[in-house]
Amino acid sequence: MTKLDDQYLHIFTPAGMWGDQILNLFASHYHMENMGKKGLILHTGKDLFASHHRHYAPIESDILKFWTTFDFVKGILFDVNQRTLPEDAANSNYEIFPFLDFPYDDDYKCDLANHIDFSLFPDSSLKVSGSKVAVFQPISLKNKPPLLKNDFICEWELSVNQLIAKGYTIYMIGGAEDTKDCDALYPQFSGRKQIINLMGKISMFEAIDLVMNRANFVLSCDSWSGWYGIASRVKTAFCAGPLIEDGTDKKYLNLIKNKDIFYMDYSSKKQQADTSISQWINKNA
């Protein structure tokens, strides 16, 4: 069929998985500019495929709100369902650009926070203090494959101590469902005056604002906060999980650039990764 041509780049992205959102938008923003387009049109559906758990789930309405805060997102069309993605893309009135299949410049630099209108975020009473602010997401196992969960668990003792030695106030974040895991695995972080525990106490929008607008450093497990720190050019140390380590999820890593401001090691390496990250913090934070 003949496709309509307009001034926008059209992409498909499911409205779920917060980390995927910033990766998809970061890469698509590059391609949009490189192709001389004036904005993005997001094509999506009303459910999504949770790949690690192999089932379909409803979309997250807050992600739709998040999309509308980007100055280059010009529209959202509900015409492509992930269940029937090839057929729906072929039948769409517009050419859907397959950004996952297009590598791009490893030296590309962009602060995506400059393209977000944070005033559109829900009102927040979160107070942040300290001249050097680090955001720390120690664990996130909710969407991880059950058989691989142990390899997603990071060691953090040396890295956290290095941030404290550098004079950082550390804001520890995560969902309410992560609190029990954090208490069991990292009891040494509880009650330390330099660590403010916000796990389960703030909204996703407040956490995004904290990472992209207020942090001077991000220390993250294999979860969304690492990607958002990198996308906003905040110095970031990221402990990637086994699916990136073995190449399964390499295509997602290839969506993000700003390679001059982040360091990555692998959670399966446990203390060895903690040591290398702490050394990078010592030299770069």
Q: Comparing C-alpha atoms, which of 235, 240, 213 is closest to residue 224?
A: 240
Both tokens assigned to 2? 């003949």
pLDDT confidence of residue 51: 63
pTM for this one? 0.95
pLDDT confidence of residue 47: 83
SS (H, E, C) 86-113: HHHHHHCCECCCCHHHCCCCCCCCCCHH
pLDDT confidence of residue 30: 98
Both tokens assigned to 253? 């890593």
- Tell me, what amino acid is at 64? L
Distance of alpha carbon 206 from alpha carbon 122, whole angstroms = 8
Q: 9-12 and 40-43 as β-strands: parallel, antiparallel, unpaired?
A: parallel
Both tokens assigned to 55? 């089932």
Phi, psi (5° rounding) for residue 5? Answer: -115, 130
> 120: which DSSP letter?
G
pLDDT confidence of residue 143: 84
Q: How many residues does the chain have?
A: 285
User: Helix or strand or coil: residue 166?
Assistant: coil
pLDDT confidence of residue 142: 87
**Mean pLDDT for back-to-back runs of 10 residues, the chain (285 residues):** 91 93 98 98 87 73 97 97 90 95 96 98 94 97 90 98 98 94 94 95 98 98 98 98 94 94 98 98 97
Phi, psi (5° rounding) for residue 18? Answer: -60, -40
- Tell me, what amino acid is at 177? E
Strands laid side by side in the 40-43 sheet: 9-12, 40-43, 73-77
189 contacts 138 by C-beta, under 8 angstroms: yes
